[in-house]
Chain A
Amino acid sequence: MDENLQPVVAALADRFGASHAEFRGQTTVFLRPDQIVQACQLLRDEFGFNMLSELTAVDYWPQQEPRFHVFYQLNSLSQHQRLGLRVPIPGIKPSIESIEKVFPNANWHEREIWDMFGIRVEGHSDLRRILMPYDWEGHPLRKDFPLGYEEVQFTFNVHEIDQDKFYPKE
C-alpha cells in the first residue's frame, strides 16, 4: 500500500471498523451502507479526497450474498491519491444513502445505479431513471435481466419474423 494511504485506511478502520483489500496496487475499503455518508465526509474534510471520480455498482447474483456492491472511487487532486470504497448491499429491497450532499456530482451517478441496478438511493433529490426510458420495466444491468437479441432472418422464417416487426402495414 502507498504509505500516504496508510493513515487514511487506519482512520477508517478505527472510526468504522472497516476492513480493506489490496489488489494490483489499488486499495479498497469495505464499509457498511449506513457508514458511507460519514466516511465520505471524513475523507473529504480531513484527508483531502476532494473529487468523486467514479460511482458504480456490481451485481453478484446468484453466487454471492450480499448481492450488490456499490463502488466509489475518491480522488485527491492535491496528493494524486485514489481510494476505492465498496459497500455490500443485500438483494432484497436494496438501498443506500445518497452522498449527493458531500459530492454533488454523485447525483447522476446515483440515478444511474437506480436505473441500472434498482438500488434505491435514500435522500436523493431527484431519483428518476436517467439512461433508460422513464417507462422501462426492470433494471438492465442486473444479472437476471436478459440481454435480448434480434432473430436472424432467413428465407424460411422471413415472414414469421416480419409479422412481429413494428412498422405500418397495409
Chain B
Amino acid sequence: MLEQSEVTLDELRHLVSERAIEGETMLLNMGPQHPSTHGVLRLLVELDGEVVINCIPDVGFLHTGIEKNMEAKTYEKAAVMTDRIDYLNTAGNNLVYCLAIEKLAELDVPPRAQVLRVLLTELERISSHLVWLGTHALDLAAMSVFLYCFREREMILDIKELISGARMMSTYFRPGGLWRDVPAEFDGAVRQFLSIFPARIDEYEALLTKNPLFLDRTQEIGVLSPQDAIRWGVTGPLLRASGIAHDLRKADPYSGYEMFDFDIPTQTAGDTYARYLVRIEEMRQSLRIVQQALDNLPSGPVRSDNRKFVPPPRSELATSMEAVIHHFKLWTEGFNLPKGSIYVPTESPRGELGVFLESDGGSKPYRIHWRTPSFDNLQALPLLAKGHLVADLIALIGTIDIILGDVDR
C-alpha cells in the first residue's frame, strides 16, 4: 500500500511564528550547500534583524539507504558500509558493528585484537576531534588552527594507511578480530605520534584558549543545561560540558576499556567554550589510552579461530579439506547468527553510537538500525540557537560537531 504525501506551505506553517507569516520577521534558507554547515545540512532560519527566533533543521540530503542496503548483504560484506556512516570515526563504526555481531554470536575476540581495537579507536577519536577543532576554528575565522590540525591528522591517516591500505575507509575490524596483524613499522609510527602530539595540543591551546576573539565568540554561546541535555538525548562531549560525567567507556565498558586508566573531562558551563575545553582534554586522555595500549600490547593471534564465523587463513587452504569447505561456505553464504535482537552502545567522538541488530537466524542482518549521536545532538540545535545572532549559529553548528553522514545514514 503506497501512500503519497505532499508537503504544502500550509503544512510548514506551524513551524514558524505568526510574525513570519505576516512578514514581520524574515525566513532565511541556509544551506544545504553552505561551507559552515559541515556537509549538506539545510536550516530554515527565522530572523528578527540578526537575531535567530527559530531554526528548523532539514536533514536527509545525504541519506544513502545504508540500513536497507545492509539488509541485502551478508554480515561480513556489510561491514564495508559501516565506515560510510560516520566518515570521521570509521574505526568506531566498525567496532560497534563487530561488537554487536560478536555479542549475538557469543564469539570471543583475542586479547591482542581487543587492545589494538581500543588503540585505533582512540587514534580515530583524536583524528575526529582534530577535524572538529580545525573546522570549528575556521568557522570562527582562526585560519591557522585548521592547517595545524590537518597536519597532525595526516599522521593518523598515515598510520591507518600503514595497517590497512586505506586512509579513511579502512574496514580494519572484522567480526571476531581484525583483518590482519599490524606491520612491524606500526609501533614506531604510533610512538612518533605520541612523542610529537602532546606539544601540538599545547600549540592549539596557545592559539585559542586565551584568545580574546575566540572567547568572545564562544563563551556563553549556546548554553545547554544538564536537564535539557538529558531530556533531548544529547550525549558525548556536549553532555559532559554540561556537567554530567557520562561516558560509556566508563559507564558500560566494552572491548576491554575497563583495563585502561583515563579520566572523563567535564565542565559545568555548558557553553561552546566548555565544549571546546572538554574536547581538547579528551584528546589528551585518548593519548593516555593509546600509550597504555601500545606499552601493554599482548602478543598472539588477532582473529578468533572459530571457523564457523571466521574464514581460515589462506595458507591452510592448500592442506586442509575442512578449511576449503569453511572458506567456500563463509565467502558465499556467510555465517548465520542466532535469532534475536540486541542493542549495543559505544562512545563515539560525538556521543552514544549504538547498533540495534535483529537477526532472523540467517546470514544477513534482518534489521539493523544505527543510533547515531549526531542525529540526536542536532535535534538540540534549535534549543541552543534561539536568541543568538546568525554568526553564532555558525559557531553552534560547529560545536555540536555533526557529521551529516552520521545524521542521514
- From A53, A128, A129, B371 is in contact (CB under 8 Å) with A53
B166 at the interface (CB under 8 A from A): no
A16 at the interface (CB under 8 A from B): no
Also in contact, A54 and B356, with CB within 8 A (given A24-B103, A73-B343, A105-B379): yes
Alpha-carbon separation in the docked complex, A24 to B246 (Å): 24
A58 touches B367 (CB 8 A): yes
- From A80, A107, A133, A145, B252 is in contact (CB under 8 Å) with A80
- From A23, A82, A103, A138, B341 is in contact (CB under 8 Å) with A23
Segment 114-170 of A: residues with Cβ below 8 Å from B: 118, 125-126, 128-138, 140-141, 145, 147
The contact size tier of chain B is 35 or more
A26 at the interface (CB under 8 A from B): yes
Binary contact readout B240-266 vs A (1 if CB under 8 angstroms, 0 otherwise): 000010100001100000000000000
A42 at the interface (CB under 8 A from B): no
Question: For B4, B14, B230, B246, which residue has the most chain A Cβ atoms within 10 angstroms?
Answer: B230
**Chain A residues with CB below 8 A from B343, complex form:** 26, 53-54, 71, 73, 82, 84
A56 touches B369 (CB 8 A): yes
**Chain B residues with CB below 8 A from A56, complex form:** 356, 367, 369, 371
Tell me how far the C-beta of A20 lies from the nearest C-beta in chain B, rounded to whole angstroms.
Answer: 14
B354 touches A53 (CB 8 A): yes
**Chain B residues with CB below 8 A from A125, complex form:** 14
Also in contact, A140 and B356, with CB within 8 A (given A24-B342, A126-B14): no
- From A82, A130, A147, B59 is in contact (CB under 8 Å) with A130
Smallest CB gap from B358: residue in A? A58
B10 at the interface (CB under 8 A from A): no
- From A53, A118, A126, A132, B60 is in contact (CB under 8 Å) with A132
B210 at the interface (CB under 8 A from A): no
Also in contact, A77 and B408, with CB within 8 A (given A129-B5, A132-B63, A134-B7): no
Total chain A interface residues with beta-carbon distance under 8 A: 41
Main DSSP-derived SS at the A contact region: loop
Binary contact readout B1-31 vs A (1 if CB under 8 angstroms, 0 otherwise): 1111111000100110000000000000000
A52 at the interface (CB under 8 A from B): yes
- From A80, A84, A118, A145, B251 is in contact (CB under 8 Å) with A80
Q: B66-74, B82-90, B155-163: which one contacts chain A?
A: B66-74
B356 touches A135 (CB 8 A): no
- From A23, A77, A126, A135, B6 is in contact (CB under 8 Å) with A135
B68 touches A141 (CB 8 A): yes
Smallest CB gap from B233: residue in A? A105
A128 touches B7 (CB 8 A): yes
Also in contact, A134 and B354, with CB within 8 A (given A23-B340, A24-B103, A140-B65): no
Segment 73-88 of A: residues with Cβ below 8 Å from B: 73, 77, 80, 82, 84
Smallest CB gap from B57: residue in A? A108
B345 touches A53 (CB 8 A): yes
A51 at the interface (CB under 8 A from B): yes
Additional A-B contacts beyond A53-B371, A133-B60 (5; CB < 8 A) = A56-B356, A56-B367, A71-B356, A134-B7, A147-B71
In the complex, the 5 A-B pairs of residues with the closest C-beta atoms, listed nearest first = A105-B233, A56-B369, A131-B60, A134-B7, A131-B63
